[in-house]
Amino acid sequence: MEDNLAAWRADPENWIKTHLRVKSKEGGIAVPMTGDFAPSQEKLVRLVAEIRGQGKPVRLVALKPRQVGATTISAALIYHATVLWPNQQSQIVSMDLESAQQIHEKNDLFYELSSPLARPMRARSSRREMLFANPKRHERATRPGLRSRIFVESAKKATIGRSMTIHHFLGSEVGYWKDGEERAVAAMNAVPELPQTTVILESTANGVGNFFHKMYELAKSGTSDWRAWFFAWFEHPEYRRAPDHQYDAKNLDAEEVTLQQAFNLDDEQITWRRWSIAEKFHGDSTKFKQEYPATDDEAFLLSGRHAFPLDQLSAYERTVERPQPMRVWVKSDGRISAESRAQSSLHVWRPPVPGRQYVIGADSASGIETGDFQAAEVVDLGSRQQVAEYRSTVDTGDFAGELFRLGIWYNTALLAVEKSMDGVNVLAHLAHAYPNLYTQEVWDEVGQKVTKKVGWVTDQNSKRLILNELKNAIRWGQLTVRSRMLLEELKTMQRDELGRFGAAEGKHDDLVMAFAISWWVARQHATIVGYVESNPMQDSITVREPLHDRIRRYRLQDEEDLRPTSL
């Protein structure tokens, strides 16, 4: 072993291929990793060798599709770094103890079936630990063995990585760790910044905004010593299928044409993709993309609990336009005017047209730079199109001024301001100045009358109501989105296990809420509701009925229903 040690240490790829075995895909037979070394594994192990060749510690974030062997090769790299050097502490942590132990079982297989020349003395082996040392305690003083150790732990344990030094760390399925940042940071801080140390964080995607996503984006940006690794489905040589009469590669749809042009896919890859969507995912292309992403962005965006249908949102890419930054201001004679201005918080796609009606939905915030944004969305009442957008971190007084000028410019638009804690301050500035503020009609059960309250009141019920209405409008293509920022917020909105809407961790939903308010109010106040398909020669025109008239009509109908009929 000593004769080959230097070569083995310097070439982990060759050592792993030569000495380690894994279970075959066909059954329980152990096969050399030489024959089972997938391209994804080769790509990852060579990236580690490249980093080591630069004399740097390995700091790697691996975004893995399913079934490409990323976890196996990561475990093999940790094993290599542990059994070829003395006094190494290696830790494997997964989202729960069972999955961590499943990874650790690979270490047992590595040891039991490796070449005797590459098998150091082992003093202890259990489901949670493997100690490489002389099994005879009385000989350890003169012949200690490596004194290296691999142990496993669950990410649910609060004390992982504390009060110890770790040289090699594998975090598996980090995207699914509860309190992932706290757990991973504790473990990573136990790893010294030395060239021969290793930290690999690997996971399938689990939405955006969580710790794993942030770490991956940081590594991808190249602004740190961390490296990002991703393996697309079409890089795997097994994902091919000969064209046949049922799943041929003729008559490509728009998405397939884009994929073929972007990634130079051949007919067999397109055929395999079509077959997989039909046979594995029952025709659902979105689920295929979740399991077999083509890009890292696709992997993150298509995972997690999404609030809005991503396939329909993808269609809105076609309506996104470059806006015109503008400033709306008051001239010396008191008239409102607008002009182009670079780096403005107001983005305009369609300026106001005389005679048209507009709605502005506004979501207010505290106005501090580290908090949420002041946001406003302008919707054309007739066409249901997004025509302008405002987002800034100004304080509530300045935001009220911006809304006033914007509303007057858009033909004194109906202005609906969310009545949150900060929104109350905005409304206080507007209450006696702006002539067309939205008022909610609320039925007072005690007084048996309709009351009107200025502003939009957001609670869990009203939030779910307007966001579900927005989701339906997106699903059926009833509106036009032109803002890239709004589209990105829509893509990263999520729903929790109770069905509540909210922004993903580290993301914002200010534009979404402003747009949902404007869309709801526009629908409630629109006069033309749509085209009647059953009678293509006639439009359906419905005038919105005030709430108090509607309640009175319902009462009369109830009285009529309860009145006894004459015989």
Q: What angle do CA 285, 289, 292 make, to 5 degrees?
A: 125
Most confident of 308-312, 429-433, 525-529: 429-433
Kindly tell me if the per-residue pLDDT of 544 is higher than 80: no
**Segment 299-321, tens digit of pLDDT:** 887 777 778 887 788 788 888 99
Q: When comparing pLDDT for 512 and 288, which is higher? A: 512
Residue 120 burial by Cβ neighbours in a 10 Å radius (0-12, 13-18, 19+): middle
Cβ contact 210:217 at 8 Å:
no
Kindly tell me if the per-residue pLDDT of 267 is higher than 80: yes
Give the integer Cα–Cα distance in Å for 457 and 438: 11
CATH entry, 319-528, from 3.30.360.10, 3.40.50.2300, 3.30.2350.10, 3.30.420.240: 3.30.420.240
Give the integer Cα–Cα distance in Å for 29 and 199: 30
The CATH number of domain 5-231 is 3.40.50.300: yes
Residue 555 confidence class, pLDDT cut points 50, 70, 90: low
Q: When comparing pLDDT for 178 and 509, which is higher? A: 509
Kindly tell me if the per-residue pLDDT of 159 is higher than 70: no
Please give the torsion angle defined by the CA atoms of residues 248, 249, 251 and 252, in that order, rounded to the nearest 10 degrees: 140
**Segment 275-298, tens digit of pLDDT:** 999 999 888 887 888 788 899 888
Residues facing 361 on adjacent strands: 377, 416
Give the pLDDT mean for 179-183: 79
State residue 384's pLDDT score.
86
Cβ-proximal residues to 255 (8 Å cutoff; 6+ apart), any chain: 285
Tracing tokens 């182009």 back to the chain, one arrives at: 340
Kindly tell me if the per-residue pLDDT of 375 is higher than 70: yes
* DSSP code per residue over 482-499: --HHHHHHHHHEEE-TT-
Residues facing 380 on adjacent strands: 358
Residue 444 confidence class, pLDDT cut points 50, 70, 90: low
State residue 163's pLDDT score.
65
Task: Supply 350's token pair.
Answer: 């369609």
Give the integer Cα–Cα distance in Å for 288 and 292: 6
426 conformational bin, left if phi > 0, alpha if psi -120 to 50, beta if neither = alpha
Fold match between domain 5-231 and domain 319-528: no
Kindly tell me if the per-residue pLDDT of 250 is higher than 80: no
**Segment 387-397, tens digit of pLDDT:** 999 999 999 99
The alpha-carbon radius of gyration of the chain (Å, integer) is 31
For residue 566, report the phi and psi dihedrals to the nearest 5 degrees.
-80, 145
Secondary structure E strands in 168-279: 168-172, 198-203, 227-230
41-45, 251-255, 512-516, range with the lowest pLDDT: 251-255
Kindly tell me if the per-residue pLDDT of 117 is higher than 50: yes
Most confident of 135-139, 220-224, 390-394: 390-394
Residue 459 confidence class, pLDDT cut points 50, 70, 90: confident
Q: What is the pTM of this model?
A: 0.67
Give the integer Cα–Cα distance in Å for 452 and 505: 36
Residue 40 burial by Cβ neighbours in a 10 Å radius (0-12, 13-18, 19+): buried
Give the integer Cα–Cα distance in Å for 554 and 164: 72
Q: When comparing pLDDT for 503 and 407, which is higher? A: 407
Sheet of 324-330: strands edge to edge?
Answer: 336-340, 324-330, 346-348, 386-392, 374-380, 358-363, 414-417
Cβ contact 547:443 at 8 Å:
yes
Give the integer Cα–Cα distance in Å for 14 and 118: 13
Kindly tell me if the per-residue pLDDT of 177 is higher than 90: no
Which of the 8 DSSP states describes residue 229? Answer: E
Q: Report the mean per-residue pLDDT for the chain.
A: 83
State residue 493's pLDDT score.
85
Render the burial of 336-375: b for 16+ CB within 10 Å, e for the rest: bebeeeeebbbbbbbebeeeebbbbbbbbbebeeeebbbb
Q: When comparing pLDDT for 88 and 117, which is higher? A: 88
Kindly tell me if the per-residue pLDDT of 470 is higher than 70: yes
**Segment 324-358, tens digit of pLDDT:** 999 999 988 888 999 999 889 999 999 999 999 99
Give the pLDDT mean for 258-267: 90
Give the integer Cα–Cα distance in Å for 361 and 463: 13
Q: When comparing pLDDT for 437 and 30, which is higher? A: 437
Residue 421 confidence class, pLDDT cut points 50, 70, 90: confident
Q: When comparing pLDDT for 247 and 283, which is higher? A: 283
Give the integer Cα–Cα distance in Å for 277 and 286: 9
State residue 78's pLDDT score.
94
Domain ranges of the chain: 5-231, 241-304, 319-528
Give the integer Cα–Cα distance in Å for 206 and 191: 26
* DSSP code per residue over 112-149: HHS-GGG----SEE-SSEEEES-S-GGGTTT-----EE
Residue 58 burial by Cβ neighbours in a 10 Å radius (0-12, 13-18, 19+): buried
